[in-house]
Structure 1
Amino acid sequence: MASIPVRVFGGPTALFEFGGLRFLTDPTFDAPGDYERDGRRILTKTAPASGSIADLGHVDVVLLSHDEHPDNLDNSGRALLADVPLTLTTPGGAQRLGGKAKGLADWESVDLGSVTVTGVPAIHGPGPREEVEPVTGQVVGFVLTGPGLPTVYVSGDNASLDAVREIAERFGPVDTAILFAGAPRISVLFDGAPIVLDSAHAAEAAKVLGARRVVPVHYDSWGHFTEGRDDLVAAFTTAGLVDRLDLD
């Protein structure tokens, strides 16, 4: 079975076709610069996207892991949502965004013709969800399935291998895993521990999922991402999985 085409734009943003529909993950198309809150710099974008919104063409569905952080939904991405028929995100995010946004709780599914999208657990930091969510907010991942179609997993901003194991038990093995990585760290949160998978844990996630192919995203273009392409290659090589890594 042929793998789905995936185009990565940098940061967490990727465009892929599945079951006749075109899906976009966490849209971030702003120019490089600082994002501030209450007069303080909170995040810095260091590189532009590899393409523009005009390059996307028609998008049927945005898969938005969460709406509260600009490295997952920036100003340009937020404006884009108005032109997309459906945005799937967290229940809280759907309430904040309104309009054409729909929230998915854990294991809740929506049928889009021949494609089923299921919301799956994601924890945006180290430790149990009840301790992490009050700090970094609610996040959702996605699994896409359909008759005669490969299984696709989009992790969102997840740092939990336990969540990955739950997903693998229900949906594994997966054909393509779009894994958010980069080991982002915020010094004042969780003693500087990664709040999304680091490279070694991304490789372990691939093994747990039985993923035939891994397309990493969320490892470049932002100042708080602490591991990049070379770290991913090294970790997947050490794990004996580098042949599954798709960085093109």
Structure 2
Amino acid sequence: MSEILTTGLFRQESAITVLGGPTAVIDLGGLRIVSDPTFDNAGPHGYLTKTADPAVDEDGVGRADLVLVSHDTHPDNLDERGRAFAKAAPLVLTGPLAAGRLGSPAVGLTPWASHSVPRADGDGDLTVLAVPAVHGPEDGERDADGNVNCEVTGFVLSGQGLPTVYLSGDNASIRTVAEISRRVPDVGVAVLNAGAARVPAKFDGRPLSLDSRTAAAAAAVLGVDTVVPAHYDGWAHFSEGLSEIELAFHEAGLSPVLRVVPHGTWIQLAR
């Protein structure tokens, strides 16, 4: 079945749903994977403002088998309830700096390092590959660790008989997407953070994540069959929304690959 229970989400064989903001639930290989959990209610969160509650809360999602955290330093990607949800999981994969701050059960992966997770369906392992992300313009000032804005990690999920899924995290760099495409040529599904996040005080207000046109360009570079847009609503600092994303994919001739459904609704993935 692929319907939503009033109290939660049915487990799927191979599917993705976005809950709002960056938070996605991916069911693959018998595992429930949750990326960038954000479950706090709408309202001020430091210098950012959340404008909508998640479509499904942590109780509705249930216990995750694996949590992916692209970065832990911004409340729109990991909030207080999301942090508690992640800490309750058996495994969190993130970047090395974030893992040091989060502590157990977080494991830090440098770009191009991978971690194998036994699949609950008994068909081998799910491989999680950490990939780079640039949280701002290519020419943005780098910190002492070489990061623009902060350390951000994207992920590629793969396994025998499973679709290969790329989760961009807050990446604004097409050059980085091109490198991922060269190294992982079989990506079939991309979850792209595409809201053109902007903070006036940072990088002259330039986008900190993909905008609609660079998201369409990323889809073309990757050659994917399915794009699931994320992180384009629910927060006040997004400068583009769903209408801009749909127009950009239409103008690029890529509307057939864009999958847009209400938050909390499953998108079934082909093997």
Query: What is the TM-score normalised by the length of structure 1?
Result: 0.94
State whether residues 87 and 101 of structure 1, in contact with CA within 8 Å, keep that contact through their aligned partners in structure 2: yes
Matched, 1:123 2:128: no
Give the structure 2 partner of residue 45 of structure 1: 50
State whether residues 186 and 224 of structure 1, in contact with CA within 8 Å, keep that contact through their aligned partners in structure 2: yes
Give the structure 2 partner of residue 73 of structure 1: 78
Give the structure 2 partner of residue 18 of structure 1: 28
Rounded to whole Å, the distance in 2 between the matches of 1:91 and 1:106 is 10
If asked which structure has higher relative contact order (CA below 8 Å, sep 6+), I would say: 2
Between the aligned residues of both structures, percent identity stands at: 50
Equivalent of 1:224 in 225, 230, 237: 237
**Deviating runs (4+, > 2 A) in structure 1?**
128-135
Give the structure 1 partner of residue 269 of structure 2: none
Matched, 1:234 2:247: yes
Structure number having the greater helix percentage: 1
State whether residues 14 and 29 of structure 2, in contact with CA within 8 Å, keep that contact through their aligned partners in structure 1: no
Deviations 1:54-94 (A, max 9, x none): 11023111111000000000111011122111111110000
State whether residues 134 and 148 of structure 2, in contact with CA within 8 Å, keep that contact through their aligned partners in structure 1: no
State whether residues 182 and 228 of structure 1, in contact with CA within 8 Å, keep that contact through their aligned partners in structure 2: yes
The CA deviation at 1:151 is: 0.8
State whether residues 123 and 129 of structure 1, in contact with CA within 8 Å, keep that contact through their aligned partners in structure 2: no
Matched, 1:153 2:159: no
The CA deviation at 1:146 is: 1.1
Give the structure 2 partner of residue 99 of structure 1: 104
Give the structure 1 partner of residue 205 of structure 2: 192
The CA deviation at 1:35 is: 1.7
Give the structure 1 partner of residue 195 of structure 2: 182
Give the structure 1 partner of residue 87 of structure 2: 82
CA RMSD of aligned residues (A): 1.4
- In structure 1, stretches of 5+ residues that fail to align are 37-41
Give the structure 1 partner of residue 42 of structure 2: 32
Deviations 1:189-216 (A, max 9, x none): 1000000000000000000001100001
Alignment length (residue pairs): 241
Rounded to whole Å, the distance in 2 between the matches of 1:107 and 1:84 is 23
The CA deviation at 1:235 is: 0.4
Pick closer, same or farther for the CA change 1:171–1:130 going to 2, 3 Å. Answer: farther
Give the structure 1 partner of residue 7 of structure 2: none
The CA deviation at 1:129 is: 7.1
Q: Which stretch of structure 1 is more off in the superposition, 180-189 or 135-144?
A: 135-144
The CA deviation at 1:136 is: 1.7
State whether residues 213 and 246 of structure 1, in contact with CA within 8 Å, keep that contact through their aligned partners in structure 2: yes
- In structure 2, stretches of 5+ residues that fail to align are 1-12, 119-124, 262-271
Rounded to whole Å, the distance in 2 between the matches of 1:172 and 1:129 is 28
The CA deviation at 1:7 is: 1.3
State whether residues 179 and 202 of structure 1, in contact with CA within 8 Å, keep that contact through their aligned partners in structure 2: yes
Deviations 1:126-185 (A, max 9, x none): 025762655621000001111222111000010000110000001123111011110010
- SS of alignment partner, residue 105 of structure 1: coil
Rounded to whole Å, the distance in 2 between the matches of 1:53 and 1:202 is 28
Rounded to whole Å, the distance in 2 between the matches of 1:118 and 1:197 is 21
Rounded to whole Å, the distance in 2 between the matches of 1:22 and 1:130 is 37
